[in-house]
Structure 1
Amino acid sequence: MSIWIWLDGGVSYQQNKTRGQKISCWFGRRLALRHKNVTVHKTCRISPESRINPKGGTISIGAGTSVSYNTAIQGDVSIGCGSSVNANCTIVGYGKEGQVTIGSNVRIAANAMMIAGNHVFDDVNTPICKQGIRPAPITIHDDVWIAGRVNITAGVTIGKGAVIAAGAVVTKDIPPYSVAAGVPAKVIKMRI
């Protein structure tokens, strides 16, 4: 059990209400900012148990955004204002060609995964681990809700106001204001 559970009261969503939660958020921001090329607005609520590392890229997190515990944000990632990334999420960008861009007021539930690159495996005579990565951007527009255990693959754009149902695997673009579900995810209805 970590000291942060005692300080923040064991909340799963990073908050800034009690003295312990404020201390936890302060340490979380400091740990994220120890890496150069990381920008975190002073109003962000970052768990000290998250892993934020640009790995040679750049990470930007906007005002009022929260990042919960056990979340990994690596590579080239941009998150807008007022968004939330809940526990156990993985968000990985691969350079400018594999940038992950998340808009403002986006809700990302626990255990979601976004990886903006795929292993190359064309040559059966060469180990996959030696064939490199093929990056492609992931773009999540404003006011999107991504439910728990959603996987979003490289090259996908999710339109403004869309909802992605729990457990979906998103392999193609999702239009604005639509609700998508399934494996692979398909639009099941429109919000408007």
Structure 2
Amino acid sequence: MSWWTLLDGGYSMPAQKTWGQRLSSRVGRWLASRHPMTDIHPTCLISPEARIHPRDGFIGIGERSTVALGVLLQGNVTIGRNCSIQAYSNIVGYGSKQQPAGLITIGDDVRIASHAIIIAGNHRFADPDRPIRTQGLDLAPITIENDVWIAGRVNIMAGVTIGRGSVIGGGSVVTKDIPPYSLAVGVPARVIASRRQS
């Protein structure tokens, strides 16, 4: 069992109390930042078991953000400051820095729990006589504004904006925009309350 595996099954990031822990997150950060199309702030904690690959895009991670084991960051993804991406979440953007059709933008102070799936593209399937894999993708950006909590096993579909201060309940599938300071749950996700109401 590695030091990344805590009481909650490894879904939280550890405190860096020993030289081994500090070295491990530095190795993870180094592995992530060696690609020329990444910008990883030196204060980030990156598990060496995270997979970070920009393909033709760009991946930026702001200061004091954490990326846990098994996370996949791929394509065109920008993550703000003080964010937490927990174990085995998949965040897949598309496009390039110059053509950001499938850009995923995650604001500051965002918490994404384990096993979330955030993908900025959907397969086309209109022609039943052609394999789906040959029909291409419809790309649309995803924006998660500041101070959002995405609970475990949430799916966020292409083209969605989740407003500032919102909470998305576990297991939800977000297919439409969520207004700021909302609590949304379900399949598909629906707003059931506002955090602004007293």
Letter in 2 for 1:126: R
> Does 2:101 match 1:101?
no
> Does 2:158 match 1:154?
yes
> Does 2:181 match 1:171?
no
Moved more, 120-129 or 58-67: 120-129
Identity over the aligned pairs, expressed in percent? 55
Letter in 2 for 1:35: H
Letter in 1 for 2:13: Q
CA distance in 2, matches of 1:181, 1:94: 27
Query: In the alignment, is the contact (CA less than 8 A) between 2:4 and 2:13 conserved in 1?
Result: no
1:38 maps to which residue? 38
1:14 maps to which residue? 13
TM-score scaled by length of structure 2:
0.92
Letter in 1 for 2:187: V
Shift of 1:35: 1.3
> Does 2:119 match 1:120?
no
With over 3 angstroms needed to count, the CA separation of the structure-2 counterparts of 1:163 and 1:136, relative to structure 1, is same
Tell me the secondary structure at the aligned position of residue 29 of structure 1: helix
CA distance in 2, matches of 1:188, 1:142: 20
CA distance in 2, matches of 1:186, 1:77: 26
CA distance in 2, matches of 1:48, 1:163: 29
Query: In the alignment, is the contact (CA less than 8 A) between 1:77 and 1:100 conserved in 2?
Result: yes
Structure 1 residue runs without a partner (length 5+)? none
Query: In the alignment, is the contact (CA less than 8 A) between 1:168 and 1:181 conserved in 2?
Result: yes
Number of matched pairs: 187
TM-score scaled by length of structure 1:
0.95
2:23 maps to which residue? 23
With over 3 angstroms needed to count, the CA separation of the structure-2 counterparts of 1:41 and 1:172, relative to structure 1, is same
2:186 maps to which residue? 182
Shift of 1:9: 5.4
Shift of 1:20: 1.7
Query: In the alignment, is the contact (CA less than 8 A) between 1:89 and 1:111 conserved in 2?
Result: yes
Q: Which runs of 4+ in 1 moved over 4 A?
A: none
Tell me the secondary structure at the aligned position of residue 88 of structure 2: coil
Tell me the secondary structure at the aligned position of residue 23 of structure 1: helix
2:136 maps to which residue? 132
CA distance in 1, matches of 2:4, 2:176: 40
Shift of 1:189: 0.3
Residues 112-165 of structure 1 deviation map (CA, whole Å, 9 limit, x = unaligned): 010000001111111100011111000000000000000000000000000000
Query: In the alignment, is the contact (CA less than 8 A) between 1:9 and 1:20 conserved in 2?
Result: no
Query: In the alignment, is the contact (CA less than 8 A) between 1:147 and 1:165 conserved in 2?
Result: yes
